[in-house]
């Protein structure tokens, strides 16, 4: 009987923990979870997070973040392995621009949604292989990482200005 009561107590506490009115710690807004299955599936697939009031549902898409968009544009020529907005990570595959033995891989880690230099970090990796395909992986030069970050910041500025002009119209 004690096990049954304990199980009921745990079940009830889990139900109350699944409250639909959850405050998002990043934005401070109340999240309203969409009942429409298609919209929930889009959000789960990475299209965005659904937030908003009772009738006016607002979508917070990853495309709303200029740094995210700029990063994808700067890295558009390199195959992307992971682009997880919720996890705050964009990672490329190993990329070799020529027939050299060196390949690079870039990871952009997002720390915050704010438009700030400290909102993201760029980490590069270099893979050097010999004729026998023995490979050695090392971190890229900090100057290379800084160059990529500067390009992302420049593109972010352009995107931000374009968005501001669109809002004025």
Residues 47 and 107 in one domain: no
Taking the whole predicted model, whether its pTM rises above 0.75 is answered as: no
Residues 33, 48: contact at Cβ < 8 Å?
no
pLDDT tens-digit series, residues 2-33: 555 555 555 555 545 444 555 544 445 555 54
Residues 122 and 70 in one domain: yes
Domain total in the chain = 2
Question: Is residue 70's pLDDT more than 80?
Answer: yes
Residues 47 and 80 in one domain: no
Least confident of 28-37, 56-65, 68-77, 95-104: 28-37
Biggest CA–CA distance in the chain, Å, is 72
More confident residue, 133 or 43: 133
For residue 103, the model assigns a pLDDT of 92
The CATH number of whichever domain residue 131 belongs to comes to 3.30.530
Residues 110 and 150 in one domain: yes
Q: Of all helices (H) and strands (E), which one includes residue 162?
A: helix 142-168
Domain encompassing residue 103: 65-168
Residues 127 and 161 in one domain: yes
Residues 162 and 84 in one domain: yes
More confident residue, 166 or 75: 75
Question: Which residue in 97, 155, 91 sits closest to 125, CA to CA?
Answer: 91
Task: Evaluate whether residue 12 is within a structural domain.
Answer: no
In which band, very low, low, confident or very high, does the pLDDT at 57 lie, cut at 50, 70 and 90?
A: very low
Q: Average pLDDT in the 65-70 region?
A: 90
Handedness of CA 129, 132, 133, 136 (dihedral sign): negative
Residues 112, 132: contact at Cβ < 8 Å?
no
For residue 158, the model assigns a pLDDT of 93
């Amino acid at each position: 009987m004690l096990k049954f009561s304990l199980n009921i107590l745990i079940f009830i506490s889990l139900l109350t923990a699944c409250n639909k009115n959850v405050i998002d710690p990043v934005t401070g807004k109340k999240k309203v979870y969409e009942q429409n299955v298609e919209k929930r599936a889009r959000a789960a697939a990475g299209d965005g997070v659904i937030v908003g009031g009772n009738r006016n549902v607002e979508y917070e898409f990853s495309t709303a973040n200029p740094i995210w968009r700029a990063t994808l544009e700067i890295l558009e020529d390199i195959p992307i392995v992971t682009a997880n907005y919720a996890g705050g990570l964009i990672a490329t595959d190993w990329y070799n621009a020529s027939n050299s033995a060196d390949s690079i891989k870039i990871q952009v880690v997002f720390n915050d949604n704010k438009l700030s230099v400290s909102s993201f970090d760029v980490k590069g990796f270099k893979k050097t292989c010999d004729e026998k395909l023995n490979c050695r992986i090392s971190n890229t030069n900090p100057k290379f990482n800084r160059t990529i970050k500067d390009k992302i910041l420049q593109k972010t500025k352009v995107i931000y200005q374009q968005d501001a002009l669109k809002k004025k119209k």
